[in-house]
Amino acid sequence: MNKELSIFNIFIMFFMLMNLFILIMNIMLIHPIIIIIFMLIYSSIICINMSLWKSNYLYSIMLFLIMISGLLIIFLYFSSLISNEQTNFKLNKFMLLSFIINFMIFLYLNFKLNLFYLLMKKYNFSEYNYLMKLNEMNFQNILYLYEYPLNNITISSMFYLLISLFSIIKICSMKSISMRKIN
């Protein structure tokens, strides 16, 4: 693993932490649709990170499609339930605080990474290669989710999401109004 890829991974972690801090700081003021947008950003970043560890992009694409379909179902449900609710999302103060905290974490990790990289360059890479193989073996466990014994769970969760999408669409389209007014 080269230094550029490690810095890119740290940047991805920095961006994920920034999203998480924004969500935590505004937990009482956030509209559910904003949470869905943050989850969309978070899942796309995780899929990019997954595609960096493997040469096969199939699993990251499948994860992205599953997450997007689930988020679209939740988005449809929330948009039909709370169509007139206003958001009061204050981004300025929390964004600045989140950026400062994450930038400090980023600088700390970058310093540790450079120190680790210099030490590995000075000594041999055998331990580092061993750690990378261990990480790849841990990532291999994720791939078992789409293989024979566990693929039934994945397929049934996909069908559940599909059936719930159709039922929500059917409920909303029967009366052509939001679900809040159906009572």
164: confidence class by pLDDT, cuts 50, 70, 90: confident
22: confidence class by pLDDT, cuts 50, 70, 90: low
Task: Say yes or no to pLDDT of 160 above 80.
Answer: yes
Residues in Cβ contact with 63 at an 8 Å cutoff, skipping those fewer than 6 apart: 43, 46, 47, 50
pLDDT tens-digit readout, 102-136: 666 666 666 665 555 555 555 555 555 555 565 55
pLDDT tens-digit readout, 42-79: 777 777 777 766 666 777 777 788 888 887 777 777 77
- Pair 32, 85: CB distance under 8 Å: no
Task: Say yes or no to pLDDT of 177 above 80.
Answer: no
Distance, CA of 136 to CA of 126 (rounded, Å): 15
Domain ranges of the chain: 1-147
What angle do the packed helices 148-175 and 58-81 form, to 10 degrees? 30
